[in-house]
Chain A
């Protein structure tokens, strides 16, 4: 803007001076003033070169031509400036946008897709190390309008899919449409993540410590747990947010003693909506860097079983908080399964094995973490320790004895190094224990490299 005014001013002065020159000034004076004008134009446009000709009129018209070009260039201002100029008629009038990414060479190249990857090397005590490109995930989104948006997540696990052999898996983790009505009321439908716990909806590798996701959030709360469904989401104000869905059922025919309900996820394949489950989560994030969450899931799960239709109810409470250079997160979850005895009897008849499904499962963990480097450093080094207690045999139905090897606890201790907020090198050592005197739960050493883009 100011440059434009300067150019216009120079042009006006040029016209006025040239008019004046014609009638009143000496040749020497006119020459001096023309040189001065040429100098000023060069300040505005360093590429301007004085014409080789010594003719006064030619030099004057060259000056005029260059000023016209400069003015024409100013008619199309840079995009950000143009955007700001265009906002003068809007109810919120933008004045300036500045910051560390604006016009910075540090700004990342933006792709039209996002994604995350997770590469692990796991070594259980007494076993060889196992490298595994665990997850390669691409995320696609699209805005049909300001109100209608699409989001999806497409995953390849363990790097290889081959027909008829036990290999990795390719899966649709999310694919849903959001219809944004009001801040407190939005509709969502499609393949959605069940809104339970911390990690299920926030599972990008740099967003949690430890090479593997917490045990509690893979056994007691399945992860990644997604179902077909629809529901409402919204921001209720004062830091409260909610999500509530009707979802396809878990499949009780795949419950077992070791992993509880986790294997019962249908993940959208051969799913049932005969008895849709209800899932909801209420979050409070009213204080900066603090989040409290309450989650509830309940639904009948017997659509693949003839004579029993057990109800699964899962409740969890979780918290995340950061203060100065210390982070803290914790979660407690409890699962109830009705008709557990009848379910075990039916499963034993179907499979020939006693599945020993519990009527209650319980798990909790807490994790303090400390950022070693001061905030001003570009890199981040996080030391953490996580204690987990998870028991998929917490309460057994009448006539069934708990398998104590599935009453487990772990100390996960390690370090996360982030050369960039979206890239995490992870190392941890896991001290695994269980309540059994016969079956050992071996310790493990894990290395991981995960990134998000």
Chain B
């Protein structure tokens, strides 16, 4: 019984520690916060350089209509509210070096297909 209790407690504290770690990255101060403006048909800045391992937060606002923000290599696809309706905040960890495109995922006009940008992790 005592052994079982110990195992349970060990499991309990391990899971709690994992949960706390996950929550930390959600609430911890990011290593870098970058403001991005979306406007037909470009993101500004369009190229973003990061260091490997950084916890990064993008704060994205629109200067006109609704846009989308999709980073295929992060599995992220979220809506950017139109001008005057707030912002989108995305946090991620740049785990691996490389170049990762991001793009608008909400049809916004003639240049929608090439409304893209690039994240460069060094």
Contacts and interface: CB of A to CB of B under 8 A. Distances in A.
Interface of A: 1-2, 5, 8-9, 12, 16, 19-20, 83-84, 86-87, 90-102, 106-108, 110, 113-114, 139, 141, 146, 149, 151, 153, 174, 178, 180, 183, 186, 193, 201-202, 204, 206-207, 233-235, 237-239, 241, 285, 287-289, 322, 375, 377-378, 380, 420-422, 452
Residue of A101, A102, A178, A193 with most partner-chain B CB within 10 A: A101
21 contacts: A1-B19, A2-B19, A91-B74, A91-B96, A94-B75, A94-B90, A96-B90, A98-B88, A99-B88, A102-B79, A107-B81, A108-B66, A141-B107, A151-B110, A153-B110, A201-B111, A204-B109, A235-B46, A239-B46, A322-B63, A378-B84
A94 B40 contact: no
Interface of B: 1, 4-5, 8, 11-12, 15-16, 19, 22-23, 25-26, 37, 39-42, 44-47, 55, 60, 62-66, 71-96, 98, 100-101, 106-114, 116-119, 121
Given A94-B76, A452-B109, 5 more contacts: A92-B121, A99-B89, A100-B88, A141-B113, A289-B44
Contacts of A2: 19, 23
Nearest to A373: B84
A94 B87 CA distance: 17
A110 B107 CA distance: 10
A202 B5 contact: no
A95 B25 contact: yes
Contacts of B117: 183, 235
- Leading 5 A-B pairs by shortest Cβ distance: A100-B86, A92-B74, A91-B96, A99-B88, A114-B107
Given A92-B74, A95-B26, A96-B90, A233 B100 contact: no
Contact of B71 (A92, A102, A193, A322): A92
Contacts of B42: 241, 285
A92 B26 CA distance: 15
- If over half of A's interface residues share one DSSP class (helix, strand or loop), that class is named, otherwise mixed; here it is mixed
Nearest to A380: B84
A101 B79 CA distance: 7
Contact of B26 (A8, A96, A141, A202): A96
A100 B63 contact: no
A203 to B, nearest CB: 8
Nearest to B119: A92
Residue of A114, A378, A380 with most partner-chain B CB within 10 A: A114
Contacts, number: 195
A288 B100 CA distance: 22
B109 A146 contact: no
A30 B74 CA distance: 50
B111 to A, nearest CB: 6
Contacts of B25: 95-96
Nearest to B36: A288
Nearest to B98: A91
Contact of B113 (A178, A235, A288, A289): A178
Contacts of B73: 90-92
Nearest to A173: B110
Given A108-B66, A420-B82, A95 B110 contact: no
Contacts of B77: 83
Contact of A421 (B8, B82, B96, B101): B82
A178 B103 CA distance: 14
A93 B65 contact: no
Nearest to B102: A92
B110 A99 contact: no
Contacts of B92: 87, 92-95
Contacts of A235: 46-47, 114, 116-118
B5 A16 contact: yes
A239 B48 CA distance: 11
B106 to A, nearest CB: 7
Contacts of B55: 95
B58 to A, nearest CB: 10
Contact of B74 (A90, A100, A107): A90
Given A97-B90, A141-B112, A377-B84, A146 B107 contact: no
A271 B110 CA distance: 22
A16 B4 contact: yes
Residue of B11, B85, B110 with most partner-chain A CB within 10 A: B110
A256 B19 CA distance: 73
B91 A94 contact: yes
Contacts of A174: 110
Nearest to A100: B86
